[in-house]
Amino acid sequence: MDNGNTALWQRYRPGTRRLVQLYSALLYNAHLKGFIDGEIYIGKTKYACVPGFNCYSCPGAVGACPLGSIQNALAASGHQAGWYVLGILALFGVIFGRTICGWLCPLGLIQELLHKIPTPKIKKSRFTRVLSWLKYILLAVFVVAIPLWYGLKHNLPLPGFCKYICPAGTFEGAIGLLSNPANTEKFSMLGILFTRKFVIMLVIALACIFCYRSFCRFICPLGAIYGFFNRFNVIGVKVDDSRCNNCGSCVRSCGMDVRHVGDHECINCGRCMEVCAQKAISIKAGSYTMKAPAGGCSGDNEHSEIGRKRFARILWGVALGILCIALLWFNFLDPSVKKRVAAKPVPAPMSAATTASPQEEPSSTADKEAIPQPAEPVSFESNAPIGFEVGQQLADFSTPTFDGGEFHLADTRGRIVFLNLWGTYCTPCVQELPEFEALYEKHADEIAMLAVHSSMTGEIEPQDYVKSKGWDEWKLPFALDDEENDTIFTVVNGSTTLPQTIVLNRRGEVIYNRVGSVSAEMLDALYKQADESVPAAPAAG
C-alpha cells in the first residue's frame, strides 16, 4: 500500500515551477478576507504593480495589474507622464522577461490547469506561429491607442483592453465579486458589455483546454511587452553553446511558438531542459545556475548541486516567511482592513436653522383670535436609527471641499442630499457627473450635493483632474475622502466598486444607496421620491 501511495505521489506531486506559480497566486491575492466580505482591498500597496497578470478588482488582490496600470498611465498622459509604471515594467522585464509568464503569472497557472483536461489537443503549427503575432496588434490598439485617444482627445479614462477583452477582469474581478452574497445588488449593474466579456472569457477558456496557453500565446499584451526583454533578461533559460548540437528537440517539445530557446515567445518554463540530450540548457540568474539539468552544467564541481539545494531551501524559507507576514498583515493588521466596519452610531447634531422656533403664547383668547395662527412648525429632526441602509439616518460628517469650503452634513437638514462616490479612473463615474451638476442647477435651493472621490487617487490627482475638466466652475462641490480613515466611505458604506449614489430626504434619512451608474431620468425620479417622503417647509406668508 505504501508503495502504491508513493508511486501516486511521485506521479502527481507538484514540481518546483507549479509550487512557485501557486505561491505567486496566493501572494498576489493575500487579502483572503476580501473573498469573505466581497470587497476589494484598498490599502496603500494597491498602488504597486505585481509582476504577473492579476486583476486589480479581484477581492483578494493586494496590488495592481501592470497592464491595467499602463493603460491608466497612458490615459492620464495629458496630465502627467506615467514614469512609475513604465519604470516598473522595464525593471520587471530586465530582471525576468517572460520568466514572469512561465513562473509568476496566476493566469498562466489557470491556463495550464485547463489544458490538463483530457481532450484532443491542437498542436502548434505555422498557423499558430502566425497567430501569435495577434497579441502585438492587441497591445498597440487596446493598450496603447484607445487609452491615449480617450485620454488626450476626450480627457476620459478608458482602459481599452481591461474594458473590452480582459478575461482576468471578468473571472477574478466581476465573477469574484458577484459570487459573494453580499454583492447581489451589483447584478443590476450588468449589461451587454459584461455579457460580451463573459462570452470572450468562455471562448478563451475553451481554447486553453484544446490549445496550450492560448491566451498567453495569442492574446496577452503583457506577455508581448515582456517578450521585448527576453533577449537580455537576467533570470531565464540559457543555452550552453559548447554543449548544444542544434538537434532542435527543445523547440519541438515546447508548447509555445518559439523559433529558438529564449526568443520573444519563450516563457522560460524550463521544460526544454528535460528533453535536451546534451544537457545544454539551464535556468540561470546572471552567471549563477538556479536550476540545472540532470547531471549538472559544464563547469560544475562536486559541491555545485549541494550548494544549489541549500540556496533553494533558504530561498523557500524566506519566501514562506514573507507569505506568512503578508497573510497576517493584509487580513488582520493593516489599518485599511480594520477600518472597513460600519459607522458607529453617532447622533447627528441639528442645525439651528432646521427647525422653526417656538412662538410666544398669546396672553388671552382675544389675542389668539386677533393674531393670525402660523402653520404647524416643520421639524426635520429624525428618530430613525443611525446607519446607511434605506430608512436609517445617516451619521453626521464634515469634510473640506476642493473650493476651500466645508461640507457639513448636519447643516443640510431641510434639503434633499445627493452624495456621489466616484474616481478619476472610473469611466462611468466621469460620464455621469454632469448629470448631477444639471440636477443641482435645476433645484439649487432644495438640494445639497457632494461628489466624493475615493482615497485611491490613481494616476491623476483629483483636484487637478477636476480643474482640467472645468468642473471647478460648477456649483457641485468636490471632496477627497480621508486617506487614513475613509470617513465618508465608512459612514455611507462606500463600495470599492464605483460609482455609488446615496440620496437622503430632508430629515437626513437614506432613501437610496446603491452602486451603479445613474441617468438624468433616475436622478429626477430620486429627487421627486425624496421630496414626496418629506415635503419642504411651507413658504412664509
Confidence category of residue 294, pLDDT binned at 50, 70, 90: confident
H/E stretch holding 515 reads strand 510-515
What local confidence, expressed as pLDDT, does residue 486 receive? Answer: 60
Give the span between the Cα atoms of 494 and 388, in whole angstroms: 9
What local confidence, expressed as pLDDT, does residue 343 receive? Answer: 38
Answer for the pair 27, 54: CB distance below 8 angstroms, yes or no.
no
Confidence category of residue 154, pLDDT binned at 50, 70, 90: confident
What local confidence, expressed as pLDDT, does residue 49 receive? Answer: 95
Q: Is the pLDDT of residue 185 over 80?
A: no
Candidate ranges 111-125, 170-184, 524-538; pick with highest mean pLDDT: 111-125
Give the span between the Cα atoms of 266 and 181, in whole angstroms: 41
The mean pLDDT value for 1-7 works out to 63
Chain centroid offset of residue 440 CA: 31
Of 51-55, 148-152, 354-358, 375-379, the poorest mean pLDDT is in 354-358
The mean pLDDT value for 464-491 works out to 88
What local confidence, expressed as pLDDT, does residue 75 receive? Answer: 87
Domains in the chain with CATH codes: 13-233+301-336 (no CATH), 378-533 (3.40.30.10)
Q: Is the pLDDT of residue 18 over 80?
A: yes
E strand spans, 423-461: 447-453
DSSP assignments along 106-173, one per residue? HHHHHHHHHHTS-S--PPP-HHHHHHTTHHHHHIIIIIIIHHHHHHHHS-----HHHHHT-HHIIIII
What local confidence, expressed as pLDDT, does residue 69 receive? Answer: 92
Q: Is the pLDDT of residue 254 over 60?
A: yes
Confidence category of residue 4, pLDDT binned at 50, 70, 90: low
The mean pLDDT value for 506-524 works out to 94
What local confidence, expressed as pLDDT, does residue 540 receive? Answer: 52
Q: Is the pLDDT of residue 338 over 80?
A: no
Percent of the chain with pLDDT over 70: 88
Confidence category of residue 68, pLDDT binned at 50, 70, 90: very high
SS3 57: coil
Give the span between the Cα atoms of 442 and 432, in whole angstroms: 16
Q: Is the pLDDT of residue 38 over 60?
A: yes
Q: What is this structure's pTM? A: 0.83
Q: Is the pLDDT of residue 454 over 60?
A: yes
Residues 386-412 pLDDT 10s? 999 999 999 999 999 999 999 999 999
What local confidence, expressed as pLDDT, does residue 358 receive? Answer: 37
What local confidence, expressed as pLDDT, does residue 509 receive? Answer: 95
Percent of the chain with pLDDT over 90: 69
Neighbours of 200 (CB within 10 A): 16
